[in-house]
Homo-oligomer: A and B are copies of this chain.
Amino acid sequence: MNKTEPQTNLEARAQLFKALGHPVRLLIVNLVQTKPRHGEELAEILNLNPATISHHLSQLVAVGLLTLKKDQYYHTYSLIGDVLKKTLGEMIRLPQAGLMADVEEDAYQNKVLATFFRHGRLLQIPSQLKKQQIVLHRIVQEFEPGKEYSEREVNQALIEFHDDVAYLRRSLIDHGLMKREAGIYWRVVEAMEG
Contacts and interface: CB of A to CB of B under 8 A. Distances in A.
A47 B108 CA distance: 12
16 contacts: A10-B23, A10-B27, A11-B23, A17-B21, A17-B26, A18-B18, A27-B94, A27-B103, A45-B103, A46-B103, A84-B87, A84-B88, A85-B89, A86-B87, A86-B88, A87-B87
Q: Which of A18, A89, A106 has the most CB of B within 10 A?
A: A89
Query: What copy number does this chain have within its complex?
Result: 2
B107 A47 contact: yes
B89 A88 contact: no
A113 interface: no
A33 B34 CA distance: 35
A19 B89 CA distance: 14
Contact of A18 (B15, B21, B84): B21
Nearest to A18: B21
A13 interface: yes
Contacts of A107: 47
Interface SS of A by simple majority: helix
Interface in A26-61: 26-27, 29-31, 33-34, 45-47
A163 B103 CA distance: 47
Contacts of A16: 21
A85 B45 CA distance: 32
Interface centre among A11, A16, A30 (most CB of B within 10 A): A30
Contacts of A33: 92-93
